[in-house]
Chain A
């Protein structure tokens, strides 16, 4: 049996494991949620810049510095923190995947 055929057999086994369906569904939910959070933060900023620039031109601490800069930096930092969340979720999921693969006879 070729390597490829062996893999096809394993794929079928893994697919038939109900926990695999569960895992991939929760994985794609997490990905979509993180994607939506990052894009809403960014598009929210972009739309505010475009439609209500006055909001962002408000003074930061009574001087000429505006809140626009820290808000921009927060969007960058927030999106990056989401990548850390993603890393943590994926590492937990990787353990489940390893178990599922073991059950399939790997």
Chain B
């Protein structure tokens, strides 16, 4: 197995970190693990349970609303768990644990950055999303602006983010499953792709939500148990855990404070803004806010999600910090028994070695199964968001101008799901062993620089016109893509040039600002009759955004 393979798993969460830190964090030593029967049994149980749920959900998924948004009948608590599940991928558990293990406090700062989007999402848009949207975030940006071009742009922005994310998840899934279950890479990718198609095509949002809820609960429970077991080794003392870590880590005392990762201030801010505002442009996250009955439940979901994610991220840091001494000094977990050399299975295996060290094979099996379940649930959420962009935005609203029947639209969603699944399997195989860190920078960069500015302005600024939104959104998209190509992640690491033209790994500070400024200037310069009408229409949109009057209601089951 390729030595470059492991970084792809960590990449999902870790790619936004600046500098060369990650290569060091993920010194790979990948080799296939022996077949783990506990893990396989627990995983099979999960698959059986979720297929049962899919069967049950398929019978209840009749209308387009059932299919896209579970009929709007998910409670705030359930949705909080589900949306947290969408966000807590295998990369979060494995990647951030490994980052703290390798870099100490910088790893914690990394986790905090990915938490901050949640309170911001609540303050800036959670209730307005629910009041204005129906199935996709394109519903909102096309509410008073010219629907055809706005939907095309939103769907393209959304699908791009979904596909970049999917590739990273599929490649990560293949590598991880190969490692954990001893299953061949290609089989693993096909297995994930096929299960994802079944969940989404048959069970729609109802099945996807429940898969996500079960997985999030397992992940929270498993993480909590692991953290308690690990921390108990130090008598639940933070000082003893730190002292053991400092003694075991080659960085010594330096790992306890800020290190090199955030030294460059501009790079640090660009990273922080990208992580925070990128969340507000991720289509699979935004879509979940349409599954609750009203704005009140939408707010509740964001509060619950923020709570679960904040808790989980702090937990993960306990895992990473305790692993420095528990895993880092035990020759059993190093290739050839050489402490300080390459970790068995690669640098991404820290959390799993910690499970084995504190809870034996049973806990290792449980955590491996949860990691697999996590990948499945996350790709299912992505596939559903992608499929709804194709069917609801492109097919039903752009191609058929809203004249298609619900049944036609649902059929297209199912076809799109199968197509996305097949494409995802193909891309997963194609990109095997590639360094995909830049894809995550791109996904978050585009989300923060194109989807988010247009969405925020369309909901809050009366002056936004179609022309301004299109020019601003495209400017954000173009600048994010260009800056990522010129950044170290692509220019030096992929294209092999000696020095990057754009020195930062994350474009958000520049590309997001560009999008906002250009959208505002272009709107101000737009004096067309259409622009005046759009400004007038804002008044009604504003009342609906504030009151929910006229918003899509929950369907009764």
Residue ranges of A at the interface with B (Cβ–Cβ < 8 Å): 3-4, 7-8, 10-11, 14-15, 20, 23-24, 27, 31-32, 34-35, 38-39, 42-43, 45-47, 49-51, 53-54, 56-57, 60-61, 63-66, 68-69, 72-73, 75-77, 79-80, 82-84, 86-87, 90-91, 94, 97, 100-101, 106
Nearest chain B residue, comparing its CB with the CB of A39: B120
Interface residues of B in 92-135 (CB under 8 A from A): 105, 108-109, 112-113, 115-116, 118-120, 122-124, 127
Q: Which single residue of chain A is at the shortest CB-CB distance from B257?
A: A57
Of the listed stretches B238-246, B378-386, B420-428, chain A binds: B238-246
Q: Which residues of B321-361 have CB atoms within 8 Å of chain A's CB atoms?
A: none
Best-surrounded residue of B263, B540, B542 (most CB of chain A within 10 A): B540
Question: Do A24 and B272 have beta carbons less than 8 Å apart?
Answer: no
- Assess whether B268 is in contact with A76, with CB atoms less than 8 Å apart: no
The stretch of B184-192, B307-315, B403-411 in contact with A is: B307-315
Q: Within the complex, what minimum Cβ distance (angstroms) separates B99 from chain A?
A: 14
Indicate if the CB atoms of A49 and B253 lie closer than 8 Å. Answer: no
Task: Verify A76–B547 contact, CB threshold 8 A.
Answer: no
Q: A63-B242, A82-B119 are in contact. Are A53 and B296 (CB under 8 A)?
A: no
- Can you name 8 extra interface pairs (CB under 8 A) apart from A39-B116, A42-B113, A77-B310? A14-B547, A35-B120, A50-B263, A50-B268, A76-B310, A79-B115, A80-B303, A106-B549
Contact of A68 (CB < 8 Å), options: B119, B256, B302: B256
Contact A11 B302 (CB under 8 A): no
- In-complex Cβ contact of B262 among A3, A50, A54, A66 (8 A): A50
Identify the closest chain A residue to B253 (Cβ). Answer: A64
Question: Nearest-CB distance from B276 to chain A (Å)?
Answer: 7
Closest 5 CB pairs of A and B: A57-B257, A53-B258, A65-B242, A49-B258, A11-B543
What residues on A are CB-neighbors of B258 within 8 Å? 49-50, 53, 56-57, 68
B residues apposed to A, CB below 8 Å: 105, 108-109, 112-113, 115-116, 118-120, 122-124, 127, 238-239, 242-243, 246, 253, 256-259, 262-265, 268-269, 272, 276, 295-296, 299-300, 302-303, 306-307, 310, 313-314, 317, 539-540, 542-544, 546-547, 549-550
- List of B residues within 8 angstroms of A75 by Cβ: 112
**Nearest-CB distance from B455 to chain A (Å)?**
15
The residue of chain B having its C-beta at the shortest distance from the C-beta of A76 within the complex is: B310
Are A56 and B257 neighbours in the complex by a CB distance under 8 Å?
yes
Q: How far is the CA of A64 from the CA of B258 in the complex (A)?
A: 14
**How far, in angstroms, from A101 to B295 measured CA to CA in the complex?**
15
Across-interface contacts of B112 in A (CB, < 8 A) = 42, 45, 72, 75-76
Closest Cβ of chain A: how far from B275's Cβ, in Å?
Answer: 10
Q: Do A90 and B547 have beta carbons less than 8 Å apart?
A: no
User: How far does the Cβ of B524 sit from chain A's closest Cβ, in whole Å?
Assistant: 21
A25 to B314, CA, bound (A): 36
For residue B118, which residues in chain A have a CB less than 8 angstroms away from its CB? Answer: 83
Would you list 9 pairs from A and B whose C-beta atoms are within 8 A, ordered by A residue?
Answer: A63-B239, A64-B256, A66-B242, A69-B108, A69-B238, A79-B306, A83-B118, A83-B306, A87-B303
Closest to A32 in B: B123
Knowing A51-B265, A63-B242, the reply to whether A76 touches B257 (Cβ < 8 A) is: no
**Chain B min CB distance to A33 (Å):** 9
CA–CA, A93 and B394, complex, Å:
37
Distance between Cα atoms of A20 and B120 in the complex (Å): 24
B124 neighbours in A (Cβ, 8 Å): 31, 35
> Which residues of A lie under 8 Å from residue B299 when comparing CB positions?
86-87, 90
A80 to B304, CA, bound (A): 9
Which one of A3, A34, A84 contacts B303 once the chains associate, using CB atoms below 8 Å?
A: A84
Alpha-carbon distance A51/B272, docked complex (angstroms): 15
- Within the complex, the shortest CB–CB distance from A96 to chain B, in Å, comes to 11
Which A residue sits closest to B547, measured CB to CB?
Answer: A97
Q: For residue B197, give the distance in angstroms from its CB to the closest CB of chain A.
A: 36
By beta carbon, the residue of chain B nearest A73 is B314
B542 proximity list for chain A (CB < 8 A): 15, 24
- Chain A residues lying within 8 Å of B550, measured Cβ to Cβ, are 3-4, 7, 11
Q: How far is the CB of B536 from chain A (nearest CB, A)?
A: 12
In the assembled complex, the Cα of A94 lies from the Cα of B295 at a distance in Å of 10
Set B246, B272, B310, B540: member contacting A43, Cβ < 8 A: B272
With CB as the reference atom, state the residue of chain B lying closest to A36. Answer: B123
Cα distance A95–B113 when bound, in Å? 34
Nearest CB in chain B: distance from A42 CB, A: 5
Contact partners of B549 in chain A: CB under 8 A: 7, 10-11, 14, 101, 106
| B residues near A77, Cβ cutoff 8 Å | 310
A54 contacts which chain B residues (CB < 8 A)? 257
Q: Which residues of A contact B120 (CB under 8 A)?
A: 35, 38-39
User: Which residues on A sit within 8 Å (CB–CB) of B269?
Assistant: 43, 46-47
Report if A38-B116 is in contact (Cβ < 8 Å); known contacts: A15-B543, A50-B264, A94-B296. Answer: yes
A97 touches B546 (CB 8 A): yes
Q: Contacts A38-B120, A61-B239, A64-B246: A53 and B257 contacting too (C-beta < 8 A)?
A: yes
